[in-house]
Amino acid sequence: MKLPNLVILDEKDKKLRSISKEVIFPLSKEDKKRIKDMIDYLTMSQIEEYSEKYNLRPGMGLAFVQTGIAKRIFVIVEELEDKQFRNYVVINPKIITHSEEMIYVGEGEGCLSVNREVEGIVPRYARITVEAYDENGNLYKIRVREDISVAFQHEIDHLNGILFVDKIDPKNPYKDKAKCREI
């Protein structure tokens, strides 16, 4: 595999704070190529030989806005087992239902745009149902849970100009921990 030429914006870049625009179909060739490049990048970042060769931080999700394009598109690459992946292409997503149960990632959330250690937890819904479009403009509904639910919520935040660090109280980074289940 060849590493795609993607520039991922750092948290200091003001573009990350913009609210992404709804996507109009059909997608352009450039958008389809960017989706493929993002999936390839995330896949390679999760395979040790590539992450070491190219010095990549492992990542599972990436929003278009993180590459400087404010469109409501993100991809998630979930490793199911060794080098077996499930890809999610999510365009114009809307959370239509969510659980009452809240969870957080025990070792903390990470982000390819945040290149530093961050103390604290981000409470997220344990389960969400999302309505979105695929790259061909087909509407679908998906129910996700646990780590994939966290990833979807993290990426939807990006589309709204929000970084996970914004959701951590600097005075009390573990606030509401008792109200959530660790994953």
Residue positions annotated with a catalytic role: 155
Q: How far apart are CA 62 and CA 39, in angstroms?
A: 9
Q: Nearest CA to 101 among 79, 128, 121, 130?
A: 128
Q: In what order do the strands lie in the sheet with 127-133?
A: 61-63, 73-81, 84-98, 127-133, 139-145
Q: Nearest CA to 46 among 112, 140, 116?
A: 112
Which ranges of the chain does DSSP label H, i.e. alpha helix? 29-46, 48-53, 146-159
181: its two tokens: 């289940």
Measured CA to CA in angstroms, residue 64 lies from 17, 58, 71, 102, 104 at distances of 13, 17, 6, 27, 24
* Beta-bridge partners for 88: 76
Cis peptide before 4 (omega within 30 of 0): no
